[in-house]
Structure 1
Amino acid sequence: MLSLAVGSSVSAMAKVSMHNTINYANGSGKSTATQLGFIKGSQPPPSLLSSATTNISTSFKTAVAAIDSSDLTSSPTPAKQEAKKYSFVVANAKFMLDEEEHFKELLFERLRNYGERNKEQDFWLVVEPKFLDKFPNITKRLKRPAVALVSTNDTWITFMKLRLDRVLSDSYEADTLEEALASNPTTIEFEKPENWVAPYSKYEYGWWEAFLPAGSRESKV
């Protein structure tokens, strides 16, 4: 009879201990010893303390894991594309395309050199460029239509300014190549000289089209 009573007491105590351990893990705030059903000041068995500590630790780790898995950060804002600098020389179309004796040869030689080196072209001819609206001090000195030689190579543009002599020069910035090389529609036509006395052939009309921006359209008569 005594052994049965003791066994029943131990079983009941174990149930109370497990129930109170779960309550503690859920944050009831009472001390472990009291929750396990022991008198204040007494020491519970090590096995029960170990079980309670394990349950508390597991609950704490689960809560931390839930916080770590939350998406607390926003997507980074894409960096804004920086504007690129373009340098240019500009003059009236007749001088640039019909009168200057060496301009055509200089451009075709540079284009050939780029091809041999597999280098991407970084210079263009722009007929009546829109960017001239930003340079009133230049436009008031220009005969129209105007043609600009534009490049991202500032050093080469400086050389071309010295080489061509009768041109105006400056630089500007643009976010895209299309914006940098935008042009206004115009018509270019040159009168053929009645008496050509130079030892070389006259430039053929339209030679400059190889240097116009891709997709550029020009009205011709």
Structure 2
Amino acid sequence: MYNYYFAIASKDFFLYQEPIEEILRERTQYYQSLNKEVDFWFTLEPNFIPLLDNKNKPYYFNIPNSLAAIVSLDKDFIQWLKLRIGFVYIGSFQSKSIFLLD
């Protein structure tokens, strides 16, 4: 099983209210400087929502086509994102595949 960690918010928040492109570009450059493989992804309309525990899902998870997420294998990176951009929900899930729900 693979452990995935995520920061999730509305598409509008990630695409228009936060400099997420800049943050991810800087993180990519940092990984390259360490010769580390990129282990995070930005996704619109994440398909892992059904894997999450229903009791911990915020109400807006039920609004179709409204979410975006940054998913990573690195828990510390996601916790850093929470501190950096604040208004995101963080959590984790497991999948048998490195390709999430394949």
TM-score (norm 1): 0.41
Residues 116-136 of structure 1, C-alpha deviations (whole Å, 9 max, x = no match)? 222111011121111111334
Counterpart check, 1:112 vs 2:33: no
Q: Which runs of 5+ in 2 are unaligned?
A: none
Could you list the per-position Cα deviations for residues 69-106 of structure 1 after superposition, in whole angstroms to 9, with x for gaps in the alignment?
Answer: xxxxxxxxxxxxxx011100100101011211x32221
Is structure 2 residue 46 aligned with structure 1 residue 138?
A: no
Matched, 1:127 2:44: yes
Give SS of 2:48's match.
helix
* Larger Rg over CA atoms: 1
Looking at both structures, which has the greater relative contact order when contacts are Cα pairs under 8 Å and sequence separation is at least 6? 2
The answer to whether residue 5 in structure 2 is matched with residue 87 in structure 1 is: yes
Query: Runs in 1 of length 4+ with deviation above 3 angstroms?
Result: none
Q: Are the equivalent residues in 2 in contact too, given 1:138–1:168 (CA < 8 A)?
A: no
Out of 62, 66, 84, which is 1:163 matched to? 84
SS in 2 for 1:112: helix
Shift of 1:113: 1.5
Q: Larger strand proportion, structure 1 or 2?
A: 2
- 1:122-167 deviation digits (Å, cap 9, x = unpaired): 0111211111113344252245421111111101111101211111
**Which residues in structure 2 correspond to 1:1-221 (within 5 Å)?**
83-100=1-18, 102-135=19-52, 136=54, 137-138=56-57, 140-142=59-61, 143=63, 144-180=65-101
Q: Percent identity?
A: 31
